[in-house]
Structure 1
C-alpha cells in the first residue's frame, strides 16, 4: 500500500510540473476516443454509449472534486469518452439510405457537385434523387455518377436526368484496406455509378439557394481563369483559387505527386495562411500609413479582422470542402489569438484548431489531409518554439529568410513523409528540393497575384493579376517535371500495419508536447513503429470482392490474373505492395494469362480464377486444395473452396496467407455504414 501511495505521489508531482503545458494533449485524447469508436467491429448499442458517458462524467466529477496533478488523468479519460460518443453521434447523424443492389434505369436529381473522376470523366453529384420504382425510404439522399456519354453543358442547380448504372459504395479492395463505404457514408453518398447515355435538362437552375449559388460562382470563376490561362497552368490556377482541379492534366498531376508538390493543388493551410498573411500585412502597412486612422484604432487588430474576412471569403469561393474548412479553422484560431492579445503561433493554438476540427468532423481523423496538415503544423510550431528558447548563435539577418524557408520545408517534409508514405505508398526522394524551389514562389508571387486578380475582376482587369500568377505556376510545373525526370525520383513502400501509424504519431507527439528530458522516451515507440513497418508482410493471395481479379505474390512481385479490368483494385493492390509496376506488367507474371481458366500455385494451395461465363462453362468439378474464384455463380462438384460472385457479395474481398483466409467483412465488422437496415449477419466460417 505504501508503494502504491508513493507511485501516486510521484505521478501527481510529475503532472503538476507539466501544468501550463497540458492543453495541447486535449485533442490527442479526444482523437483516441474517436479512433476507439472507428476501430470497433460491431456497432455499439445505446447501453455502451451510456456506460462510456457515465465513465466520462465520473472522471470529470473526480477531477473537479480532487484538483491536483492527477486530475489531468480524469480530464483525459473524459476526453476519450467524449470522443467515442462524439464519433458515434456523428455517424448516426449523417446517415442516410444506401442502395442495397445494382440498379439500372432512369436517374434524376439536382446538380450539387461537379468534378472529375480518376479516368478524367466529368462527375456530378446529385441530391433530391428520383429512381424508377424505388421508394423514398430506400432512395439515396445523394448519388454520384461519372458521365461517359456525349458532352453536356451541366451547371450547378440544374435538375438533370439520364439512364445509368448505380451500385452501393464499394467495400475495401482488400481486408483491412481503405473503406470507401465509410468515406461515402460521411459524405452522404448512398450510391455511385456511371452513364453512357446523353444527359437531359429536366429543370433549370433555381436561384436563391445559397449552396448552389456559391457552387455556380465557383464554376464560373474557374471557367474564366481557364479561359484566360489555358492548359495545365490555367487548371493549376483554377485549383489554387476555386478548388476545381478538373483542368489539370494527368501528366501534370503525376509530376506534382512524384515531386511531392501535389499539396500545392489543394487549398490547404499553406494557401489559406499565405492569403491571410498577405492581406494582414497589406492592411497593417497600408493603415499604418494613414496617421488619422493609426492613431485612433488598433491597426493590428483591424488587419486581423480584415484577414479573417478574406480567409472566410476564400473558404466560400473554394467550395468549403473538409480540407479547406480545416485550413480556415487553423488560420481563424491564429487571427483570433491576435485579436485577444495572445501568442498567435503556439501549440495551444494548434490544439484549439485540432479540437474544433475533430468536434465538427470526427471522421476527419482517419483522413491523410487532417493527419498531414496537423503533423506539419505541430512539428513546425514545436521546432521553432524550441529554436526560439534555445541558446543558439544568431544567424545574420540576410541569412534568416533563406534559413527559415529551408528549415520550414525540411521540418514539414520530415513530419508528413511517414504519413504520406503510409497512405499513398510513395516517397519523393527529391521532394525537399522541389519544395524549396516552389513554395517560396507561392508566397512571393502566386498568392499576391491571385488576390490582385480577385480585386480587379469586377473591372474586367483580372488578367493583370493572372499573368504573373501564371508565370509562377508555370515555374512550379517546370520544377515538378524536372524533379520527376531525375533518376530515382520516386520510391515505393508497402502499406504498414494498422498499429504502426498510431504508434508513430503518439511517439512523435510525446517528443513534441512533453516537457523535460522524459520527452526522449517518445523515441522508443517511434523506432518500434518503423521496425514493425519494415517487417510488414503482404498477403500471399488477394481476391477482389467482385471475383473479377486475383493477385498472387511472387518473387518478382504480385502476379495479377488479368491485364485489363478492375484497374482501380489492381492499382491499389500494387501500391499497397510498394510495387511501382502497372497492371499489364503485373499480369505478365501470371502464367497462361490468355486462358479463361487461370491457375497459379501458391504454396500448398492452388488458385483457380474462372473468367466470365465462358470460363464457368468449362468448369464442372474441382479438387481438394483448390480455391476457385469466379465473377459469376458456379456449381462445382468436388471438395474445393468456391468463392463465386454470390458468396463474395457476403464476404467482400479476401486475403490468404499461411493457409488462413481473412475476409473484408471479418476485418470491417458490422458497422452502420456497411450493414443495410434489416440485413441479417452472415456467419463466416473460420478456415485453417
Structure 2
C-alpha cells in the first residue's frame, strides 16, 4: 500500500509540475471542453429541459466558492457547450414533415439555386404554418426569369428528411434541422414565377451575386472547368460531374476544393497590399497616419464579403476568424499566436453552430490546421525553392495523417497516392488557379474576363490530367466507433496543445484509439423496411432481397469496408443463413435470428429463436421471444443487430427525428 501511495503521489506531482509549466496553454483546452458539452447534449436519448440546464449552471458557481478556479472554468466550458446546443435547438425549432405529402400551388420564396446537371435544385422558403424551408428538385420546366428572392408557385411531392441509414453514418435529418429545412421532394408542375422581388434582403443580394458569378463562369469557361472554378472560388460544387468528383476524391486533393485558409488569407493579403500601396502614393498620408493599421482595418470588409460569397462553409468560417484575428493584432500592435486564434475560432463556432461538430469539414479542417501549426517550426533545407516544395510534401504528409481517422469515420476510405498528387497539385492551385480565378472575378465588372479564360482552362487541364494519370490507391476501411475517434482526437490534441515532453503521451492515446477502431465489430444484420443485409463467415455483407445499388445498401457496404454488397445467392461458403419455407434463420455465435415473412413461420420457430425480425406487415399472437415488428422498422428506421443480440435503432426521440404518424 505504501508503494502504491508513493507512486500515486509521484504521478500527481508529475502532472502538477507539467501543468504549472504549461499554465499559459491551459486556455487552449477551453474549446475542447466546449466540445465535451456539445457531445454530451447530442448523446442523450431524450431532450433535456431548461431545469437541467439551470442545475448544471449551479455546479461551476458552487465550485467557484470553494476556490477551485481551474475546475470551475473547465466545468463552465462544458456547460457553455451543452447550453449553446440546447439554445440553438430551441431557437431553430424547425417544423419537420412527418409523412409523405402532396402539396398543390404552394407559394414560396427562392433562397438558393443549385445546378445538378440534368435538373436544378431549389431551396424554397414556404408560406405555410406547417413547413419552413423545402429542397425541391425540378425537372418539369422553369420560367426563365426566376432569380433568388423571387416568389414562385408550384406543386410538389414532399418527403420527410432521411435519418442516418446506419450507425455513425451522416445524419442528414439532424443537419437539415439546424438549417431549417423541413422536407425534400420533387416538383410535379412547372416552376412558375409568382411575383418578382421588389426589394431583397442582404443575404439574397449576396446569393444573387454568387449565382451571377456561377453562371458567368459556366457561360465563359468550358465544362467541367467551370464547375471546378466555381468550387474553388465560391464554394459551389454542384457543377462538377460525379466522375470528376470521384477522381478528385480518390486522388486525395479534395481538401483543395474546400474554401479555407488558402483562399481567405490570399484575399486578405491581396487587399492589404492594394490598400498599403494605394496609401503609399500620398506622402502626406504615409507620414501623418499609420497606413498599415488603416489598411488592416479596411481589409476586413472585402474579406468578410468574400466569406459571405463562399456560402459560409465551416472551413471558411474557421479561416475567416483566424485571418481577422491577424488583422486585429496588426491594428492593436499585439503579437499573433496561431494556437490561440484557432482555439478562439473553435470556441466561437461551437457557440454559434454547435451541430457543426458532426460535419466532416469541422473535424478535418481543425485537425489538419492543428497538426500543421504544431509542426510549423520544422525546416529541412535553407534553399527557399527547395524549402517550398519540401514544405508542401511535409505539410501534405502531416495534414493527411491528421485527417485519416476522420476520413475513415466519415467516408470509410483513405488515399495512399494523395501525398504525391498534392506535391504537384498544391503549387498549381495556389500559385496559378486561385490567383487567376480571383483576377477573373475582378475583371467581370469591366466585361473583359474572357481574355484570361484560356489560361484558366490550361491550368485546370493540368489538374485534370494529373488526377487521371497518377494511379490512385484507395483503401476501403470499415467504420471506426465514436469511442475510438474520441481517443484519437484526444491524443492529437495532447500532442498539439502542450509544449513539454509529456506531449508524447498523445502517441499512446492515438495508438489506443486506432487499435479500438481496427478491432471494432460491425453489425451482423442490418435491416429496414426496404432492405436487409446479413454478414456471412467471410466477414462480408450480402443482400437478401436482391437490392444492392441504392444509397442505403451502398452506405452499409462502405461502413463494412466493402465496395458493394452482393446478392446472397452468390455466396458459396459455409452459410450462417438457413432457408425455411418463406423465411430465414440466421445463426451466429450460438444465437439464432428468425427473419420472418409470414406469421406461420413466427409461430413455428418462435420458441427456438433468440430474436424475431418481422419483414412484412402481418398480425399474430406474440410469443415471449423479443420481436422487431414491421411497424418498428417503419417508425424507427434501420435496425442493427450484433451476434450477442445487441440491437440498435437509428431514430431517436429528439426534435430532428420526429416520429412518423403514417
**In the alignment, does 2:656 pair up with 1:658?**
no
The correspondence of residues 477-626 of structure 1 with structure 2, limited to 5 A, is: 477-483=464-470, 486=471, 489-544=473-528, 547-554=529-536, 555=538, 557-564=540-547, 567-581=550-564, 589=571, 599=584, 601-603=586-588, 604-605=591-592, 608=595, 623-624=605-606, 625=609
Secondary structure of the structure 1 residue equivalent to 2:97: coil
**Rounded Cα–Cα distance in structure 2 between residues aligned with 1:493 and 1:174:** 15
1:228 aligns with 2:213: no
Q: Provide closer, same or farther for how the CA distance between residues 176 and 442 of structure 1 changes in structure 2, counting only shifts above 3 A.
A: closer
Cα separation, partners in 2 of 1:370 and 1:641, compared to 1, 3 Å: same
Could you tell me whether the CA contact under 8 Å between 2:152 and 2:195 is conserved in 1?
Answer: yes
* 1:635-673 deviations in Å (ceiling 9; x for gaps): 3578687655533233321111115152325xx642232
Q: Tell me what 2:428 maps to.
A: 441
What residue ranges of structure 2 are gaps of 5+ in the alignment?
Answer: none
| Paired residue secondary structure (1:174) | coil
Deviations 1:428-479 (A, max 9, x none): 1111111111112222112221221122211101223444333222222222
In 1: Cα distance, 2:316 partner to 2:568 partner:
38
| Corresponding residue of 1:174 | 166
Q: 1:302 to 1:430 in 2, by over 3 A?
A: farther
The alpha-carbon deviation at position 6 of structure 1 amounts to 9.3
Verify the 8 A CA contact 1:98 1:676 in the aligned structure 2.
no
Q: Deviations over 1:150-208 (max 9, x none)?
A: 46645322322333222321222124543322112111112222234432333333433
Superposition TM-score, scaled by structure 1 size? 0.85
Cα deviation for residue 235 of structure 1 reads 0.8
- What CA distance in whole angstroms lies between the structure 2 residues aligned with 1:320 and 1:543? 37
Match among 12, 18, 37 for residue 22 of structure 2 = 18
Q: Which shifted more, 427-436 or 92-101?
A: 92-101
Partner of 1:114: 113
Cα gap change, 1:318 to 1:37, in 2 (>3 Å): same
Residues of 1 paired with 2:380 and 2:642: CA distance? 56
Match of 2:91 in 1: 93
* Distance of 2:65 and 2:158 partners within structure 1: 51
Secondary structure in structure 1 of the residue aligned to 2:165 = coil
Shift of 1:325: 2.8
Measure the CA separation in 2 of the matches of 1:288 and 1:380: 35
**CA–CA separation in structure 2 for the residues paired with 1:16 and 1:304:** 36
1:582-631 Cα distance to aligned partner (Å, 9 max, x none): x5678855999xx9967474435356475xxxxx899997633374443x
From 315, 330, 336, the counterpart of 1:344: 336
After superposition, residues 329-368 of structure 1 pair within 5 angstroms as: 329-344=321-336, 346-368=338-360
Root-mean-square deviation over aligned CA pairs: 3.4
1:94 & 1:585 partners in 2: Cα distance?
43
Residue of 63, 79, 83 corresponding to 1:81: 79
TM superposition shift of 1:542? 0.1
Which stretch of the first structure deviates more once superposed, 140-149 or 359-368? Answer: 140-149
> Given the superposition, is the C-alpha separation of residues 459 and 617 from structure 1 closer, same or farther in structure 2, using an over 3 Å criterion?
farther
Instruction: Tell me which of 262, 271, 292 is aligned to 2:254.
Output: 262
Q: Helix, strand or coil for the counterpart of 1:20? A: helix
Q: Distance in 1 between matches of 2:303 and 2:451?
A: 22
The structure-2 alpha-carbon separation of the partners of 1:587 and 1:81, relative to structure 1 and needing over 3 Å to count, comes to: farther
Q: Which residue is equivalent to 1:428? A: 415
User: Could you tell me whether the CA contact under 8 Å between 1:174 and 1:653 is conserved in 2?
Assistant: yes
User: Could you report, residue by residue, the CA deviation over 1:75-119 in whole angstroms, capped at 9, with x for unpaired residues?
Assistant: 1121111211111111111112212222123244211122256x9
CA drift of 1:675 comes to 4.1
Kindly state the Cα deviation for residue 496 of structure 1 after the two structures are TM-superposed.
Answer: 0.7
Matched, 1:146 2:137: yes
TM-score by length of 2: 0.88
Query: Is residue 99–residue 167 contact of structure 1 (8 Å, CA) maintained in 2?
Result: yes
Taking the aligned partners of 1:356 and 1:416, their CA distance within structure 2 comes to: 22
| SS at structure 2 position matched to 1:542 | strand
Matched, 1:201 2:188: no
CA separation of 1:271 and 1:602: change in aligned 2, threshold 3 A:
farther
Cα distance change of structure 1 residues 57 and 152 upon mapping to structure 2, 3 Å threshold: farther
1:169–1:191 CA contact under 8 A, matched in 2: yes
> CA, structure 1 residues 431+110, in 2 after alignment: closer, same or farther (shift >3 Å)?
same
Task: Summarize the Cα distance change of 1:6–1:419 in structure 2 as closer, same or farther, 3 Å threshold.
Answer: closer
Deviation at 1:539, TM superposition (A): 0.4
- The answer (yes or no) to whether the contact 1:181–1:674 under 8 Å persists in 2 is yes
Note closer, same or farther for the CA distance 1:104–1:521 as it changes in structure 2 (3 Å cut).
Answer: same
Paired residue for 1:211? 203
Deviation at 1:275, TM superposition (A): 2.6
Shift of 1:399: 2.4
Q: State the 1:279 CA deviation.
A: 3.5
Q: Do the aligned partners of residues 412 and 292 (structure 1) sit closer, same or farther apart at CA in structure 2, a change above 3 Å counting?
A: farther
Matched residues, number: 643
Structure 2: distance between partners of 1:227 and 1:584: 43
Structure 2 CA distance for partners of 1:234 and 1:379, relative to 1, 3 Å = same
In 1, are the aligned partners of 2:142 and 2:192 still within 8 Å (CA)?
no
The question of whether the paired residues in 2 share the 8 Å contact of 1:97 and 1:140 is answered with yes
Contact 1:121 1:148 in 2 (8 A): yes
Aligned counterparts, 1:29-428, within 5 A: 29-62=33-66, 66=67, 71-106=69-104, 107-115=106-114, 121-130=119-128, 136=129, 139-150=130-141, 153=144, 154-281=146-273, 283-284=275-276, 293-344=285-336, 346-385=338-377, 387=378, 395-428=382-415
Deviation at 1:282, TM superposition (A): 5.1
